[in-house]
Structure 1
Amino acid sequence: MRNLVAALAVALLAGCTTPSDLRNTNPVFTASTQKSPKQYALCVLPKWQDLNAGASMSETETGYRLILANPGVGQTDEVLEVSRTQNGSIVKHFQRIAWQQLGRGAVSDAVRSCI
C-alpha cells in the first residue's frame, strides 16, 4: 500500500509544469510591438484574468512575465514573456501543450490582439 501511494505521488509530480519548464521550449508565438513591456502586459493581463482569475503578472529584469496556471493540478499552462527592445517590446508566448488548442483560442487571441 505504501508503494502504491509513493508511486501515485511521483506520477502526480511528474505532471507538474513550471514557468521555467515552459520557457525551455519553443514559443508558439513571437512578435514585436511598439508598446512598452508594461503597456503590452497591462493590455493582456485583464483579458487573461477574465479567462482565469489565477492569471498573474510579475516584473522581470527586462520587462514582464504573465503566467496562466491551473492551480487545481499544480501546473503552468501559459507563459508570456514581454521584454524591452530599443523600439518597444518583443513578445514570446509559451504553452504547455502547444498542439492542444481546444479551449485556448481566447488566450492566444488576447496575446495577438494587444500587439
Structure 2
Amino acid sequence: MRVWRLIAGTLCLAGCASTGDITHNKPTFQASTAKLDSVYAACVHTRWMAISPTARIVETPIALQVVARNATTNIEELLVIHSKAAGADVVLYERMEVLALRAYRDVAKACL
C-alpha cells in the first residue's frame, strides 16, 4: 500500500511542473486584440474545453494564461495573454506544431 501512495504522490508532483519549458519553444501564433484580457481568455477557454476538458485559465502576476494539458507531456498548449491599455497581446506556445493540434491555433485566432 505504501508503494502505491509513493507512486501517486510522485505523479501528483509531476503534474505540477512549470509551464516554463514550453516557452522556450518558438511561439506558433502572436497577435493583439482589442478585447480585455479576461474576455479573450474566457472565449479561448470555453472553446479549448471542447477540445480538451483539462483546459483551464491560470492567473499569474503578469499575465493570464490558458493552458491545455496532456496526460503524457503535461503542458500541450499555452496561451499567454498580456493586458495593455487598449486590449491585450497574445502569444501561443505549443509543445509540437502539428496539423492535428491546429484547432487550438484556430480558436486563438477566432477569439480575437
- Do both share a fold (TM > 0.5)? yes
Alpha-carbon distance, 1:18 to partner = 4.9
User: Does residue 1:110 correspond to 2:107, yes or no?
Assistant: yes
Matched-pair contact (CA < 8 Å) for 1:38–1:63: no
* % same residue: 25
**Per-residue deviation, residues 43-87 of structure 1 (Å, max 9, x unmatched):** 00010001110011111223310111112x142110000011121
CA distance in 2, matches of 1:36, 1:111: 14
Q: Cα RMSD (Å) of the superposition?
A: 1.5
Unaligned runs of 5+ in 1: 1-16
Q: Which residue of 1 aligns with 2:69?
A: 69
Matched-pair contact (CA < 8 Å) for 1:66–1:80: yes
Count matched residues: 96
CA distance in 1, matches of 2:43, 2:93: 18
Unaligned runs of 5+ in 2: 1-16
SS of the equivalent of 1:45 reads helix
Superposition TM-score, scaled by structure 2 size: 0.79
Structure 1 ranges of 4+ moved more than 4 A: none
Within 5 A, what are the aligned runs for 1:5-16?
Answer: none
